[in-house]
Each structure stands twice: as structure tokens, then as C-alpha cells.
């Protein structure tokens, strides 16, 4: 039996700086690219950016440098919203009242909070004209949501026939789609479909990655490159983007939109990430290791002022975890997969498994 190793990188906006620092420091100690030790790399949202680079064969230092140079600029504030027609006169007063009640203005009620142009420029510089077809160093999966079809969508390398369908998509477009968190950035149009951040259903892509590994094994892809394995051969290293306290005290005996509007996303995201650990531990046992840090204060998805502290925390965790992770994961070297060139052999199903 062959060992099959997965690296899973969680979503979390600018908190991805922790992941890049952690992986970069591990790689410096290891002396070779992190991705050489993983047969599959999965990343959600900010983790998808890092995963894409690693799966292309880029060293962790390159992805870390990307966050150093572009991290703060990605979350560029947009000019104040100006209403049209009658709204032009009513908006300032309504905006003032709403800000007093909720802590945030009405600008975000009419458009995404941050400018998409800085995001586009950063990813175009980082990934150039490369497409998913060029991802051959190791396997890649990035969750998203196809709004047009109304279903989850997984962008993947060509390690399965289904990966061929997206092979001509530019990686810069894919990571923009996969990081288009609703209300933060506009949705992304690729071809005839609109996409948003996969964090709405897979904030931590670890379970998705395990399912992908089983799909690879059951489909028989292991017969192509000789990496036959079973569930008992799957080992998973998961890296998070911070554990936050999210206990809330709703006002009175009831709460409505004004209370939940600014809180529901954080609550659902944190609970989803924490809730996935139980089934993973049950399924994989000691073959599952999760790396994270506890936030002493809330680090918001766009709180770029915390980048230096996130870099520091990543370096600290790398020192603490290196010996254990080195023994558990870095003695393995992934076997190069053979990309599919056609979708022949796989029935076209959506991500739920339906025709």
C-alpha cells in the first residue's frame, strides 16, 4: 500500500498570512519545496491562493512574499458610494442612521466593500497567464460556488477527468472566484457562469480533500501512476487561520437583522471550521494533524494591520511543530501524477453526485 498525503489550507481572508509564514519557515528548515511531500493540496479562499502556487511547484517563500507585497493592498477601500436620482439626497442621512445602529455604513448594502481591481492586478502579477492545465507538480482542489448553476463547484487539476473541463481557466481568474467572499468582493464571471468564495460551504477544505482522495482511489487513477492506496493510507496536515471566541449574547429574548447582519458570517465560518475536526479525527485518527493558533483578539478577514503579528505567529508555530511534522509528513515524497487529457471515462455529475 502507498501512503497518500494531503495538505489542507483553510480560508480566512488576510489571516492567510499566518499560513504563508508557517509554511515558509517549515520549508526553510526542510531545505526543499513543501509541495514535494504532498499528493494533494486543497485550499479555500485565501488558502486557495497559497494552494494554487504550491501545486504549480512554487516554493512557500514565493507565496509568503506575495502576502508581504500585496496583502495590505488587496483589501483596498472603495470611494464612498454615491446614490443616483432621489437616493443621492436621501443616502447621506440614511447612511448616518444605519452606521449608528450597526457600526457600519450603508455603502456595503449596494456593492461589495473592497475594490476588485487591486485583487486582479495582484493575481495577474502572481500567476500571469498560467491556466489550470499547467498545474502538474501535484494535485490541486479549490472549492467555490457556481451561482449560475446553483451548486458547489470544485476547481481542480487534471488528476481526474472532471478536471479537464476547467483546464483553460486562468489561475488568476480561479483564485479571484474562489476568494470572492460575498459582501467583501464582487462575484467573478468565468465564461458563462458566476462564482463566489467556496468558504460558504467548505471554509476548511479538509473533508473535501479526503473525499477527493477517495474519489482518486476509487476511480482507479492510482493505476496510472502506481499510487494505489486505501482510506487507511491517507494522512492529512491541516493548517487553519486562527481560532476565535465567538460567544454571543443576543439582545433580550429575540434578535433580528440588525443584530445578526454583522455577526452571522463570522459565526457560521468559525463554527463550520471547528465542527469539521470531530469527523476528521474519527475518520483518520492519528493520521490527522491540525495546526492553528488562538486569537487573543478578533482578527477580521480584512484587518490588514494584523499582518505583522500573523507572520510572527506563523513563525512561532513552525518552530513548535517542525520536529513532529517533519517525522510525520516530510519523509514522504509525492509520486508525479499523470494528467488526464479528456473527460472520457467519467459520467458527468454535479458536485452532489447527481446527473
| Residue 70 grid cell | 500585496
Rounded distance, CA 149 to CA 237, Å? 32
Q: Which of 8, 21, 37, 45 is catalytic?
A: 45
In degrees, rounded to 5, the angle at the alpha carbon of residue 230 between the alpha carbons of residues 160 and 39 is: 50
Angle between helix axes 116-127 and 171-178 (nearest 10 degrees) is 140
| Residue 67 grid cell | 502576502
Closest CA to 156 of 146, 187, 144: 144
Q: What residues does 196 pair with on adjacent strands?
A: 145
Rounded distance, CA 355 to CA 7, Å? 30
Q: Is 130 known to be catalytic?
A: no
Q: Is 157 known to be catalytic?
A: no
**What is residue 139's DSSP assignment?**
E
Q: Which of 107, 166, 197, 204 is catalytic?
A: 197
Closest CA to 63 of 38, 35, 37: 35
| Residue 350 grid cell | 454535479
CB atoms within 10 A of CB 318: 20
What are the backbone dihedrals phi and psi of residue 170, each rounded to the nearest 5 degrees, phi first? -65, 140
What are the backbone dihedrals phi and psi of residue 172, each rounded to the nearest 5 degrees, phi first? -60, -40
Rounded distance, CA 344 to CA 231, Å? 26
Q: Which residues fall within 8 angstroms of residue 325, CB to CB, at 6 or more apart?
A: 26, 237, 289, 291
Q: CB–CB of 138/335 below 8 Å? A: no
What are the backbone dihedrals phi and psi of residue 89, each rounded to the nearest 5 degrees, phi first? -90, -30
Q: Which residues are catalytic?
A: 45, 197
Amino acid at each position: 500500500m502507498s501512503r497518500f498525503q494531503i495538505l489542507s489550507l483553510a480560508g480566512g481572508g488576510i489571516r492567510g498570512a499566518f499560513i504563508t509564514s508557517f509554511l515558509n519557515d517549515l520549508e526553510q528548515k526542510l531545505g526543499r519545496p513543501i509541495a514535494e511531500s504532498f499528493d494533494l493540496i486543497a485550499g479555500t479562499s485565501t488558502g486557495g491562493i497559497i494552494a494554487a502556487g504550491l501545486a504549480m511547484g512554487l516554493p512557500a517563500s514565493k507565496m509568503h512574499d506575495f502576502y508581504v507585497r500585496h496583502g495590505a493592498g488587496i483589501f483596498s477601500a472603495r470611494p464612498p458610494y454615491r446614490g443616483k436620482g432621489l437616493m443621492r439626497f436621501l443616502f447621506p442621512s440614511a447612511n448616518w442612521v444605519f452606521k449608528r445602529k450597526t457600526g457600519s455604513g450603508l455603502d456595503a448594502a449596494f456593492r461589495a466593500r473592497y475594490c476588485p481591481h487591486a485583487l486582479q492586478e495582484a493575481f495577474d502579477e502572481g500567476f500571469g497567464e498560467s491556466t489550470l492545465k499547467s498545474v502538474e507538480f501535484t494535485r490541486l482542489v479549490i472549492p467555490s460556488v457556481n451561482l449560475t448553476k446553483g451548486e458547489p463547484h470544485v476547481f481542480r487539476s487534471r488528476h481526474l477527468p472532471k478536471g479537464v473541463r476547467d483546464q483553460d481557466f486562468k489561475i488568476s481568474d480561479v483564485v479571484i472566484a474562489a476568494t470572492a467572499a460575498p459582501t467583501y468582493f464582487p462575484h467573478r464571471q468565468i465564461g458563462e457562469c458566476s462564482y463566489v468564495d467556496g468558504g460558504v460551504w467548505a471554509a476548511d477544505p479538509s473533508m473535501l480533500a479526503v473525499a477527493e482522495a477517495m474519489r482518486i482511489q476509487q476511480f482507479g487513477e492510482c493505476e496510472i501512476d502506481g499510487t494505489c492506496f486505501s482510506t487507511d493510507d491517507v494522512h492529512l496536515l491541516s493548517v487553519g487561520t486562527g481560532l476565535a471566541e465567538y460567544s454571543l449574547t443576543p439582545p433580550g429574548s429575540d434578535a433580528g437583522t440588525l443584530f445578526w447582519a454583522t455577526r452571522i458570517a463570522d459565526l457560521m465560518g468559525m463554527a463550520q471550521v471547528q465542527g469539521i475536526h470531530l469527523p476528521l479525527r474519527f475518520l483518520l485518527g492519528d493520521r490527522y494533524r491540525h495546526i492553528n493558533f488562538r486569537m487573543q483578539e478578533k482578527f477580521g478577514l480584512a484587518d490588514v494591520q494584523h499582518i505583522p503579528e500573523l507572520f510572527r505567529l506563523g513563525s512561532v508555530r513552525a518552530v513548535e511543530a517542525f520536529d513532529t511534522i517533519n517525522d510525520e509528513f516530510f519523509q514522504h515524497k509525492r509520486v508525479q501524477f499523470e494528467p488526464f487529457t479528456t473527460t472520457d471515462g467519467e459520467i458527468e455529475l454535479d458536485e452532489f453526485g447527481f446527473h
